[in-house]
């Protein structure tokens, strides 16, 4: 186990001794969606859930460590521990209850100093993660493999701070230089509303993923963060299932896919929804696709979508 000397040690048991070892290759930052101190975060992990992060950071810069950085913590879904033994170090940071506020100067300072220590102690490379398994630094909503149900964590303002202040600060401090000044807060930025609908009928062939649009196949472009739901009205026999997933298309045509959500068909016309939230690079496009599985695998009759409606918010 490795313990950061500048953090207060609030060791979680039995997790600290019972959970398997990892070789840390990533540092992933979160917002806990609560204005908690490091000690209060520790008490929540201890008393209210079987999940946990390695670190907790309060608004005033109070930093606590709950599990050694060479032991698995369960805040990052598929990044907690991989089959090859690598895993991510995680930190939950105090925020408002909507996850819209920026990090304080004290939080930024602690994130930078901790990032430098992780680089020196574990060799985490000074780059932003290029994929969900790529060693480096990142934030929770960066890849769907890091979240089981989609997330906008740590929030739009903090994603901007991560890219413009925190990560450059880690790189600068690791080289013995002065970190850049904090960026101004954009907490009061007004998001753009989604409310688009397409009423024409289309089919979902059994066991065949099909892109479903609402006025346009590209649901999101040029946004830094988004949250929304795709609502489908469909007709299909009872007992079948419809699965939906959001995905990002990169400029080179490759893509990464969000988690799959499944809905049961009730027979006749039914209404299903598929929520998702995340962040998107400026050059990427966000789309949605669905697939239908009839109750009888030999049934080749397609499901019929009569309307698709997109509602939500996105931030430039």
Instruction: Give, as one character, the DSSP assignment of residue 289.
Output: E
Distance of CA 262 to the CA centre of its chain: 19
**Predicted local confidence at residue 180, as pLDDT:** 61
pLDDT of residue 190: 58
pLDDT of residue 187: 47
Distance CA 32, CA 62 (A): 15
Gap between the Cα atoms of 270 and 8, Å rounded:
53
Report the C-alpha dihedral over residues 29, 113, 163, 62, rounded to 10 degrees. Answer: 50
Q: Is the pTM of this model over 0.75?
A: no
Please give the sequence-ordered ranges of beta strands (E in DSSP) within the chain, or none if there are none: 8-9, 23-31, 55-57, 63-65, 86-93, 136-139, 192-198, 202-204, 210-211, 220-221, 225-235, 241-249, 255-257, 261-264, 269-279, 285-293, 303-315
Q: What is the pLDDT of residue 185?
A: 47
The tens-digit pLDDT sequence of the chain (316 residues) is 799 999 999 999 999 999 999 999 999 999 999 999 999 999 999 999 989 999 999 999 999 999 999 999 999 999 999 999 999 999 999 999 888 899 999 999 999 999 999 999 999 999 999 889 999 999 998 888 998 766 889 998 999 899 889 999 999 999 887 766 655 544 445 567 778 888 778 899 999 999 998 887 777 776 667 777 888 998 988 889 999 998 888 888 888 787 788 888 888 787 888 887 766 777 788 899 999 999 998 899 999 998 888 887 776 6
What pLDDT is stored for residue 183 in this prediction?
53
Beta-carbon contacts of 76 under 8 Å, excluding residues fewer than 6 positions away, are 28, 87, 88, 90, 140, 146, 147
Nearest to 228 by CA among 167, 308, 164: 308
Q: How confident is the model at residue 213, as a pLDDT?
A: 86
| Among candidate residues 255, 252, 145, the one with its CA nearest the CA of residue 209 | 255
pLDDT in tens, 49-94: 989 999 999 999 999 999 999 999 999 999 999 999 999 999 999 9
pLDDT in the model for residue 121:
97
Q: Cβ(290)–Cβ(232) under 8 Å?
A: yes
Between β-strands 220-221 and 285-293, what pairing exists: parallel, antiparallel or unpaired? antiparallel
Residue 242 contacts by C-beta under 8 Å, 6 or more apart in sequence?
A: 204, 232, 234, 236, 262, 263, 265, 272, 290, 291, 292, 293, 303
pLDDT value at residue 286: 87
CA distances from 38 to 53, 76, 93, 107 (A): 11, 19, 8, 11
| H, E, C per residue of 139-154 | EHHHCHHHCCCCCCCC
Identify the H or E element spanning 47. helix 38-48
| DSSP single-letter state for residue 249 | E
């Amino acid at each position: 186990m490795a313990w950061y000397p500048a953090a207060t040690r609030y060791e979680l048991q039995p997790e600290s001794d019972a959970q398997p070892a990892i070789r840390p290759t990533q540092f992933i930052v979160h917002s806990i969606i609560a204005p908690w101190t490091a000690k209060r975060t520790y008490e929540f992990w201890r008393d209210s859930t079987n999940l946990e992060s390695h670190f907790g950071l309060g608004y005033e810069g109070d930093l606590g460590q709950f599990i050694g950085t060479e032991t698995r913590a369960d805040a990052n879904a598929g990044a907690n521990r991989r089959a090859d033994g690598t895993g991510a170090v995680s930190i939950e940071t105090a925020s408002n209850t909507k996850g819209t506020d920026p990090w304080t100067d004290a939080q930024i300072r602690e994130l930078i100093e901790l990032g430098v220590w992780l680089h020196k102690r574990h060799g985490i490379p000074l780059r932003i993660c290029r994929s969900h398994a790529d060693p480096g630094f990142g934030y929770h909503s960066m890849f769907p493999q890091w979240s089981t149900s989609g997330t906008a964590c740590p929030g739009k303002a903090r994603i901007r701070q991560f890219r413009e202040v925190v990560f450059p600060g880690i790189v600068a401090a690791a080289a013995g230089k002065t970190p850049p000044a904090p960026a101004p807060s954009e907490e009061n930025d007004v998001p753009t509303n989604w409310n688009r609908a397409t009423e024409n009928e289309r089919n979902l062939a059994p066991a065949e993923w099909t892109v479903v649009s609402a006025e346009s196949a590209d649901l999101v472009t040029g946004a830094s963060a988004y949250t929304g739901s795709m609502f489908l009205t469909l007709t299909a026999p009872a007992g079948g299932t419809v699965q939906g997933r959001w995905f990002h298309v990169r400029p080179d045509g490759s893509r990464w896919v969000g988690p799959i959500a499944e809905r049961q068909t009730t027979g006749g016309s039914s209404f299903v929804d598929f929520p998702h939230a995340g962040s998107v690079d400026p050059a990427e496009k966000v789309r949605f696709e669905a697939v239908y599985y009839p109750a009888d695998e030999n049934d080749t009759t397609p499901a019929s979508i009569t309307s698709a409606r997109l509602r939500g918010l996105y931030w430039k």
